[in-house]
Chain A
Amino acid sequence: MDAESYQKTVDQIAPKRPVLLNCMKAFLTGGIICAIGQLVSFVFMYFFSFTERTASNPSVATMVFLSMVLTGFGIYKKIGQFGGAGSAVPVTGFGNAVISAAIEHKSEGFILGVGVNMFKLAGPVIVYGVFSAFVVALIKTILVKMGVISW
Chain B
Amino acid sequence: MKKTGTYQFASKPSIVSTAVSVGPLEKVSPFHPHFDFIYEDERIGQETNEKGHSQLIEDTCNMAVTKGGFQLQDIDLLLAGDLVNEMTPTNFAARQLATPFMGMFSACATSVSSLITASFFLETKLMDKVMFGAASQHNAVERQFRYPIEYGAQKPPTGQWTVTGGGYGILSHHQTGKPYVHSATIGQVMDCECTDPLDMGSAMAPAAFDTIQKHLAQNKGTSYDFVMTGDLGKNGFSILQELIKSSGVSSYLVDNYRDAGAEFYGNEEKFLSGASGAGCSATVYYGPIYAELLAGKWKKILLVATGALLSPLSFQQGETIPCIAHAVELSME
Q: How far is the CA of A17 from the CA of B273 in the complex (A)?
A: 12
In the assembled complex, how far is the CB of residue B271 from the closest CB belonging to chain A, in whole angstroms? 11
For residues 128 through 168 of chain B, which have their beta carbon under 8 Å from a beta carbon of chain A? 143, 147-158
A74 within 8 A of B: yes
In the assembled complex, how far is the CB of residue B239 from the closest CB belonging to chain A, in whole angstroms? 5
**Residues on A with beta carbons closer than 8 Å to the beta carbon of B49:** 107
Per-position binary interface string of chain A over residues 75-115, scored 1 when its CB falls under 8 Å from any chain B CB and 0 otherwise = 01111110111011000010011011101110100000000
**Residues on B with beta carbons closer than 8 Å to the beta carbon of A14:** 158, 199, 202, 235, 239
> If the complex has contacts A14-B202, A107-B47, are A71 and B150 also in contact, measured as CB distance less than 8 A?
yes
The tally of residues in B whose CB lies under 8 Å from a CB in A reads: 32
**Residues on A with beta carbons closer than 8 Å to the beta carbon of B25:** none
**Residues on A with beta carbons closer than 8 Å to the beta carbon of B199:** 10, 14
Nearest B residue to A12, CB-CB: B242
Which of the residues A16, A77, A83 comes within 8 Å of B151, measured between beta carbons?
A77
Nearest B residue to A105, CB-CB: B148
> If the complex has contacts A13-B242, A107-B49, are A77 and B149 also in contact, measured as CB distance less than 8 A?
yes
B217 within 8 A of A: no
A10 touches B151 (CB 8 A): no
> If the complex has contacts A3-B193, A15-B157, A15-B235, are A100 and B242 also in contact, measured as CB distance less than 8 A?
no
B158 touches A15 (CB 8 A): yes
B192 touches A6 (CB 8 A): yes
A7 touches B235 (CB 8 A): no
B152 touches A79 (CB 8 A): yes
**Residues on B with beta carbons closer than 8 Å to the beta carbon of A71:** 150, 152
A130 within 8 A of B: no
B158 touches A3 (CB 8 A): no
A101 touches B151 (CB 8 A): yes
> If the complex has contacts A3-B193, A107-B48, A121-B147, are A9 and B239 also in contact, measured as CB distance less than 8 A?
yes
Q: How far is the CA of A53 from the CA of B48 in the complex (A)?
A: 44
Per-position binary interface string of chain A over residues 45-85, scored 1 when its CB falls under 8 Å from any chain B CB and 0 otherwise = 00000000000000000000000000110101111110111
Q: How far is the CA of A80 from the CA of B153 in the complex (A)?
A: 6
B243 within 8 A of A: yes
B287 within 8 A of A: no
Q: How far is the CA of A151 from the CA of B149 in the complex (A)?
A: 45
**Residues on B with beta carbons closer than 8 Å to the beta carbon of A77:** 149-153
B157 touches A103 (CB 8 A): no
> If the complex has contacts A7-B192, A9-B239, A15-B158, are A103 and B152 also in contact, measured as CB distance less than 8 A?
no
A87 touches B192 (CB 8 A): no
B81 within 8 A of A: no
B192 touches A3 (CB 8 A): yes
B99 within 8 A of A: no
Nearest A residue to B201, CB-CB: A14
**Residues on B with beta carbons closer than 8 Å to the beta carbon of A22:** 154
For residues 127 through 145 of chain A, which have their beta carbon under 8 Å from a beta carbon of chain B? none
A93 touches B152 (CB 8 A): yes
For residues 95 through 136 of chain B, which have their beta carbon under 8 Å from a beta carbon of chain A? none
> If the complex has contacts A10-B194, A13-B242, are A104 and B150 also in contact, measured as CB distance less than 8 A?
yes
B206 within 8 A of A: yes
Q: How far is the CA of A96 from the CA of B193 in the complex (A)?
A: 33
**Residues on A with beta carbons closer than 8 Å to the beta carbon of B149:** 77, 100, 103-104
A13 touches B235 (CB 8 A): yes
Nearest B residue to A72, CB-CB: B150
Q: How far is the CA of A87 from the CA of B191 in the complex (A)?
A: 35
> If the complex has contacts A1-B192, A7-B193, A107-B47, are A76 and B206 also in contact, measured as CB distance less than 8 A?
no
B88 within 8 A of A: no
B238 within 8 A of A: yes
B155 touches A81 (CB 8 A): yes
**Residues on A with beta carbons closer than 8 Å to the beta carbon of B239:** 9-10, 13-14
The 8 A-B pairs at the shortest CB distance, nearest first, are namely A80-B152, A104-B148, A100-B150, A84-B154, A3-B193, A100-B151, A100-B148, A107-B48
A-B contact pairs, 30 of them (CB 8 A): A3-B191, A3-B192, A3-B193, A7-B192, A7-B194, A9-B242, A10-B202, A13-B235, A13-B238, A14-B158, A14-B202, A14-B235, A15-B273, A16-B157, A71-B152, A72-B150, A77-B149, A77-B150, A80-B152, A80-B153, A81-B154, A81-B155, A83-B152, A88-B153, A88-B154, A96-B152, A100-B151, A100-B152, A101-B151, A121-B148
